[in-house]
Amino acid sequence: MQKIPVLLTSFIRPQFLSQILSILETRTDIEVFFASDGPRNKSDKVKIDYCLKIFKQSKLSITQDNLILHDKNYGTKFGIKKNIDWFFSKNEYGVVLEDDCIPSDLLFDTMLESLEKHKKSDKFMMISCSDYLPESQNKSKTFFRESYFPMIWGWASWANKWELYKLEIPDSKKIILNTANKIYGRKMSVEKILFMDVFMKRFSEVNAGLINTWDYSLMATTWRNDLVALQTNFNMIVNIGFGKDAAHNTGKPPNWVPKKYNFPQPSYEIDWIDGDSLMYDKWLAKNVYNCKIGEVLKNQIKRVVGK
């Protein structure tokens, strides 16, 4: 049986880790790699040690080659990158899950088939199985669609594609304009202007170290290399990482965060990809990435006050 490599990243949330392990333990067709950032203080050290104990006591097959525990804290931005670098140094391809992303059982079957089928493709940066588009908005009858937005709650990629990844975004203006032209057309429009302003600000915040995250850099890498994400037209991840124990999202989840799984209907075309899905990306830009007038006004104020 061919096993699919799965990177499970963890930190100081044993209650989340236990939930995702209960799912992974039911699978005999996966090989789990475990990575944890290092502690910031003594309290972190206690929780990290407990997470490691939970992992080692699980029913999963564990070897020292499948574990990486950092001895210092690198933070989300650099720590996750180090974990993924390590994972793809050992595997041709694989699935990446954070400890708060609870997958449906269908995710692994979908990922393995798709990773094999598209491993020689020059189009796809990654595969995403978390879909934020509401079912009521999604009229596609295909299993997948193409998207300029790589969603990282339950995703997979290939080692040769991850090699393209760069944390720095020195070419923001060029790649944002190029992507805006693809999504909105070459003529200027209000939507296009909002999109460009919001992402110029976000990418500048990444470059300045004001955003401690790695996923905007994945988006920039995708755009820079004229790639897209292979996005499922249904959701296979429920993210439980909101509230006091969250890494970033300490409040209530936004309205667009899926609360349940949904699954393809028998009528879905499995072997055909909906490439005409720009209207879905426009919805994501507006509702998930907040490409709205109010956000642009906030950006202008930040620029004036130097933030």
Angle at alpha carbon of residue 276, lines to 113 and 255, rounded to 5°: 80
pLDDT of res. 237: 96
- Confidence label for 294 from pLDDT (cuts 50, 70 and 90): very high
CA nearest 274: which of 147, 88, 92? 147
Q: Is the pLDDT of residue 198 over 60?
A: yes
pLDDT of res. 293: 95
Give the whole-number percent of the chain exceeding pLDDT 70. Answer: 96
Mean pLDDT calculated for residue range 163-174: 97
- Confidence label for 250 from pLDDT (cuts 50, 70 and 90): low
Report domain extents, the chain.
Answer: 4-167+229-274, 168-213+277-307
CA nearest 20: which of 157, 156, 154? 154
pLDDT of res. 245: 53
pLDDT of res. 270: 81
Question: In 10 A of CB 141, how many CB atoms?
Answer: 13
Q: Is the pLDDT of residue 306 over 80?
A: no
pLDDT of res. 243: 60
- Confidence label for 63 from pLDDT (cuts 50, 70 and 90): confident
Q: Convert 81-94 to b/e letters by CB count within 10 Å (16 or more is b).
A: bebbeebbeebebb
Mean pLDDT calculated for residue range 90-96: 97
Find the range with the poorest average confidence among 17-26, 245-254, 274-283: 245-254
N residues, the chain: 307
pLDDT of res. 225: 98
Mean pLDDT calculated for residue range 151-157: 97
- Confidence label for 139 from pLDDT (cuts 50, 70 and 90): confident
- Confidence label for 17 from pLDDT (cuts 50, 70 and 90): very high
CB 38 within 8 A of CB 72: yes
- CATH 3.90.550.10 assigned to domain 4-167+229-274? The reply is yes
Cα separation of 130 and 233, whole Å? 9
- Confidence label for 251 from pLDDT (cuts 50, 70 and 90): low
Q: Is the pLDDT of residue 272 over 70?
A: yes
Cα separation of 75 and 278, whole Å? 34
Q: What is the mean pLDDT of the chain?
A: 92
pLDDT of res. 32: 95
Token digits of residue 145: 């669609």
Cα separation of 94 and 32, whole Å? 10
- Per DSSP bridges, beta strands 30-36 and 4-10 are parallel
Q: Is the pLDDT of residue 256 over 60?
A: yes
Q: Which residue has the tokens 């490439």?
A: 275
